[in-house]
């Protein structure tokens, strides 16, 4: 099926659902099915985008550092193509056993270890095409960076979990790959690790990832060979395989039968420092496994600004309320804003209904 035919078929499915007020569960590679609220699949139809013609690189200009891709394209295929030209996606999105797609990458907005040093998915998104909740095919952004007035809709779609539209095409800015990368491991306490992570960029401009896990601080240096080797020698510790970061980004260092929480907070905060199974993003992200307290209550009582997401339920438990708030509760102002956006893009609430919040 051609790309154009695939889009037309999606438009027809969405238009039909719109007329009948039927919900649609949008699924691509299915690699992040654990993420967000469980949908009542016995009550809504599945809109499966896998193998329906949205795959493939539409346009790639290595000299312009821009790539345009069908949303159903496997992330691993895009990474391989970029690698052939010594280029990369700057934010190191997880590939999840090779099943992750470009559309799912944008819809989830999940970035990897390089994120605090080079930016997130939305920082490199140039344009997105979607089919909205009425079956209209819409294009936002383009293939060049530019200032916009009002909402930058392309970036607004990052992390929307398919609730605003079915993503059909993505344009991204890419970066040259570093000439050299080296990861070092150092045995330190959590307090020492946090202090080091907070000061890394001041002393090591080539740092591109940092994490504390099971008694060790891991730091990756990226750049020109001389600069990287000099920084690695200065930092000390043991040389570690760079594949460590893929294991962290793809959640392979966590067992699947445990509840997994992710906290974003000020890098120098001491909150959940002792409870965190893993600390990364220069100290600004902490991962909690089966916490024996309610993390959101602890965060609220602390008075600190932070953001908690229940990334994965324990044993994929579905006995909880279907609206167990995997995503951080919104304040009234943001909630009204989200409701308004949902109403504009999906007026009959048919696209991944309640995937993020009970209200939409």
Strands 260-265 and 238-240: unpaired
DSSP, collapsed to helix, strand or coil, labels residue 331 as: coil
Confidence of residue 322 (pLDDT cuts 50, 70, 90): very low
Q: What does the pLDDT look like over 91-128, one tens digit per residue?
A: 999 999 999 999 999 999 999 999 999 999 999 999 99
Same domain? For 104 and 23 the reply is: yes
In a domain, 50, yes or no: yes
Same domain? For 121 and 216 the reply is: no
Strands 45-48 and 24-27: parallel
Same domain? For 110 and 20 the reply is: yes
Closest residue by Cα to residue 46 from 73, 28, 71, 19: 28
Same domain? For 52 and 123 the reply is: yes
Closest residue by Cα to residue 164 from 128, 204, 211, 118: 128
Beta carbons of 100 and 93 less than 8 angstroms apart: yes
Same domain? For 29 and 88 the reply is: yes
Same domain? For 168 and 189 the reply is: no
The token duo for 194 is 């946090």
Partnered with residue 28 across adjacent β-strands are none
Averaged over 220-246, what is the pLDDT?
A: 97
Q: What does the pLDDT look like over 156-182, one tens digit per residue?
A: 999 999 999 999 999 999 999 999 999
Q: What is the pLDDT of residue 336?
A: 93
DSSP, collapsed to helix, strand or coil, labels residue 226 as: helix
Partnered with residue 69 across adjacent β-strands are 57, 170
At 338, give phi and psi (nearest 5°).
-65, -40
Confidence of residue 151 (pLDDT cuts 50, 70, 90): low
Residues 97 and 320: their CA atoms lie apart, in Å, by 28
Which structural domain range is residue 248 located in? 179-254+260-312
Own/partner pairs, 49-53, CB within 8 angstroms, 24+ separation: 49/10, 49/101, 49/103, 49/166, 50/101, 52/1, 52/6, 52/9, 52/10, 53/1, 53/2, 53/3, 53/5, 53/6, 53/9
- Say yes or no to pLDDT of 254 above 50: yes
The token duo for 9 is 């078929």
| Alpha-carbon torsion (161, 164, 168, 173), positive or negative | negative
Q: What is the pLDDT of residue 143?
A: 58
Same domain? For 29 and 8 the reply is: yes
Closest residue by Cα to residue 245 from 275, 207, 215, 273: 207
Beta carbons of 103 and 71 less than 8 angstroms apart: yes
In a domain, 276, yes or no: yes
Partnered with residue 88 across adjacent β-strands are 175
Same domain? For 93 and 170 the reply is: yes
Average pLDDT, the chain: 92
Closest residue by Cα to residue 73 from 43, 51, 41: 51
Share of the chain above pLDDT 90, in %: 82
In a domain, 123, yes or no: yes
**Is pLDDT larger for residue 257 or for residue 168?**
168
In a domain, 350, yes or no: no
Same domain? For 19 and 134 the reply is: yes
Number of domains observed in the structure of the chain:
2
pTM, two decimal places: 0.92
Confidence of residue 145 (pLDDT cuts 50, 70, 90): very low
Same domain? For 172 and 187 the reply is: no
Residues 166 and 72: their CA atoms lie apart, in Å, by 11
Same domain? For 114 and 209 the reply is: no
Judged by average pLDDT, the poorest of 2-11, 14-23, 139-148 is: 139-148
In a domain, 358, yes or no: no
Residues 354 and 156: their CA atoms lie apart, in Å, by 18
| CATH code for position 106 | 3.30.465.10
In a domain, 304, yes or no: yes
Averaged over 258-279, what is the pLDDT?
A: 95
In a domain, 357, yes or no: no
Same domain? For 232 and 155 the reply is: no
- Say yes or no to pLDDT of 40 above 50: yes
In a domain, 325, yes or no: no
- Say yes or no to pLDDT of 194 above 90: yes
Q: How many other CB atoms sit within 10 Å of the CB of residue 40?
A: 12
Q: What is the pLDDT of residue 280?
A: 97
């Amino acid at each position: 099926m051609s790309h154009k035919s695939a889009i037309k078929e999606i438009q027809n499915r969405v238009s039909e659902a719109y007329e009948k007020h039927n919900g649609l569960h949008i699924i691509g590679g299915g690699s992040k099915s654990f993420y967000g609220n469980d949908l009542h699949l016995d009550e809504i139809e599945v809109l499966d985008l896998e193998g329906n013609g949205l795959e493939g690189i539409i346009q790639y200009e290595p000299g312009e550092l821009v790539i345009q891709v069908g949303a159903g394209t496997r992330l691993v295929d895009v990474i391989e193509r970029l690698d052939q030209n010594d280029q990369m996606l700057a934010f190191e999105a997880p590939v999840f056993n090779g099943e992750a797609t470009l559309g799912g990458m944008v819809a989830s907005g999940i970035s990897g270890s390089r994120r605090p040093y080079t930016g997130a998915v939305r920082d490199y998104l140039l344009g997105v095409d979607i089919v909205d909740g009425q079956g209209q095919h819409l294009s936002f952004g383009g293939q060049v960076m530019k200032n916009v007035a009002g909402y930058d809709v392309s970036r607004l779609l990052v992390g929307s979990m398919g609730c605003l539209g079915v993503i059909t095409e993505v344009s991204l800015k890419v970066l040259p790959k570093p000439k050299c990368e080296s990861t070092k491991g150092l045995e330190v306490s959590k307090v020492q690790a946090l202090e080091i992570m907070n000061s890394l960029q001041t002393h090591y401009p080539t740092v591109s990832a940092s994490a504390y896990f099971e008694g060790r601080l891991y730091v990756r240096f990226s750049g020109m060979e001389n600069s990287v080797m000099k920084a690695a020698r200065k930092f000390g510790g043991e040389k570690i395989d760079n594949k460590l970061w893929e294991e962290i980004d793809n959640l392979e260092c966590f067992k699947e039968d445990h509840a997994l929480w992710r906290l974003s907070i000020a890098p120098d905060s001491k909150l959940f420092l002792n409870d965190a199974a893993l600390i990364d993003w220069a100290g600004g992200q902490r991962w909690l496994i089966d916490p024996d307290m309610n993390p959101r209550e602890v965060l609220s009582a602390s008075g600190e600004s932070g953001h908690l997401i229940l990334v994965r339920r324990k044993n994929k438990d579905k006995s909880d309320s279907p609206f167990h708030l995997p995503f951080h509760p919104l304040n009234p102002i943001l909630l009204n804003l989200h409701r308004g956006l949902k109403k504009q893009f999906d007026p009959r609430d048919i696209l991944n209904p309640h995937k993020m919040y009970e209200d939409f």
